Amino acid sequence: PHIVRMLIGNDYRFLIPYSALFGALLLLASDCIAKLILEPVIVPVGIVTSLLGAPLFFYLLIARRTP
């Protein structure tokens, strides 16, 4: 929801459905990346999702500290 909120704002009529859609697309992209990183070995999707989400998490932490 944090990524979608940065993109479309705080209107819950759009935030909830777009969050569900974005979450599904993010998980699908993570699964595709996990299968393509090391071709014979499948990397767990949670690791790829963490690698994609960690920079955003740190950005949100830093953005809230600065006035």
- Are 42 and 32 a contacting pair, CB within 8 Å? no
Kindly report the pTM of this predicted structure. 0.75
* pLDDT on residue 67: 63
**Binning pLDDT at 50, 70 and 90, where does residue 65 land?**
confident
Taking alpha carbons only, the member of 42, 15, 41 closest to residue 30 is 42
Taking only the tens place, the pLDDT of each residue in 4-62 is: 888 898 889 999 999 999 999 999 999 999 999 888 888 999 999 999 888 988 888 88
Cα 48 to Cα 11, 37, 45: the distances in Å are: 30, 10, 5
- Domain borders along the chain are 2-65
* pLDDT on residue 57: 85
DSSP state of 44: P
Q: How far is CA 23 from the centre of its chain?
A: 7
* pLDDT on residue 48: 92
